[in-house]
Amino acid sequence: MRGILVEEVVKVYAEASDQTLSITSLRKGDEFELGKVSRKKKEVWVEVTLDSGQTGFISGETKIFVIKKVQFFADNIEAHEAPTNESAVIKTYPKKTIVTAVGYESDEAKGWVKIIDAEGQTGYVRGEAKIRVYQEASVANGKKQMFSGGMFAVLAAAFYIFSLNKGETTSNMSILIVAVFAFGLMQIVQGFLEYNKAKKKENQPK
């Protein structure tokens, strides 16, 4: 998981203590990999790996923005040149566009999300814009969906057989059983599609 520094400057220490050697400093906008979080003498420290490969620790109180992919779920999302309403609109995005959120800034109590699109264009969109975190396809999540879907389908089938043996099947119960089975089947299909998508991405040459 990658993060970006929001503060102006912060020291990176060799160990999880400000009494140890400061090996370098990070400045606002610097990116790094976030590692494990540890607690030492009631202080929280976060392990970071710099782009150079060097590892160190920063205070848990450091202001960090976690870089993530997001998706617009409304049309005509405007990206501004700067985090103000007065700045020029440099691009308008359609619904379902996927971008990378790399920061958050405020102007007169209004929040702005800093984004970078697939073409490398940087801009700012209003914090109240319709944005949600984009969940990338993964093999693990695909398997999880298929497993849970299979469980629902098996449960529905078992309940149906049990009801037949007891002679207690009613129209309402039948509708419920069909609904549970259909939900399970839908989960299996969605999981299978996500699994295949993730596997294809893994097999693509880098």
Q: What is the per-residue pLDDT across 55-99, written as a single tens digit (0 to 9) for each?
A: 999 999 999 999 998 999 899 999 999 988 889 999 999 999 999
Sheet hosting strand 68-72, strand order edge to edge: 89-93, 77-80, 122-126, 110-116, 98-107, 68-72, 131-133
Eight-state DSSP code of residue 41 = T
Q: What is the per-residue pLDDT across 118-159, written as a single tens digit (0 to 9) for each?
A: 999 999 998 888 888 877 767 888 888 899 999 998 998 888
Architecture field, domain 68-133: Roll (2.30)
Strands 89-93 and 64-66: unpaired
CATH number of 2-66: 2.30.30.40
**What does the longest C-alpha to C-alpha distance in the chain come to?**
76
DSSP structure string for 54-95: -EEEEETTS-EEE-EEEEE-SS-EEEESSSSTTSPEEEEE-T
Q: Say whether 68-133 and 2-66 share the same fold.
A: yes
Q: Where are the domains of the chain?
A: 2-66, 68-133, 139-203
Q: Residues 78, 56: contact at Cβ < 8 Å?
A: no
